[in-house]
Amino acid sequence: MEPCSRILANVAPPRMEFLEQLAREWYEYRGYFVRRDLWVGLEADGSYECQLDVVAYHPLRHHLVHLEPSLDLLPTAEKEQHFQLKFDAGKKYLHRMFGHAAGLHVEQAALVLASDDEHPHTIGGGRVLLLSELLADIVSQFAQVDPRSALVPEQWPLIRTLQFAAAYRTQLWSAATETRA
């Protein structure tokens, strides 16, 4: 198999991609240490074997999450190959980075907008996590929390926005319904 990517060690500054930022914010908010664009597998020529999009580690739970967000509209077979390369690299290198600590739970998931299959469960060796499921999880956490008493810190603007959307959902859906009528 070809490596995920071959690049020189002096990479350009990373750009912030929406799904990566959303995942990063959500896991940081929940107490995880998060790395984005983690290059793994340093080659002799200074290139890397692969880049992992989001890696989150919760030290108290010994929980390690490797997320590969993707908004692409590739055919299923191409998505399968893409995620397989990423998840294989994660399996190969993440245990080296975080050790083989007893009880370390590693979860790999593809965060995608939608799926070609009606009820997908896995792709490329990782779990499928639909954007709608992640958003529902986030919003449900804030559904009963008044932002005036427990406001999400401003360092997580996407999560803060979802907190407001959850708090003011009645007014938002009412306005959306009136606009459509």
Residue 9 covered by a domain: no
Task: Give residue 136's domain range.
Answer: 18-142
Residue 64: HSE in the Cβ half-sphere, 13 Å Cα cutoff: 19
- C-alpha separations of 35 from 21, 48, 66, 147 in Å: 11, 16, 10, 27
The CATH number of whichever domain residue 104 belongs to comes to: 3.40.1350.10
- Written as six digits, the tokens of 177 are 């319904």
- Of residues 137 and 113, the one with the higher pLDDT is 137
pLDDT per position as a tens digit, 62-121: 899 999 999 887 888 888 999 999 999 999 998 878 776 666 778 999 999 876 666 578
Residue 96 lies in a domain: yes
Quick check: is 8 in a domain? no
Based on the structure, what is the number of domains in the chain? 1
- Residue 103 vs residues 40, 62, 94, 97: alpha-carbon distances, Å: 23, 6, 14, 15
Task: Tell me if 90 is assigned to some domain.
Answer: yes
Quick one: tokens of 130? 């639909």
Average pLDDT over residues 165-175: 86
Q: Is residue 147 part of a domain?
A: no
Query: How remote is the C-alpha of 146 from its chain's centroid?
Result: 26
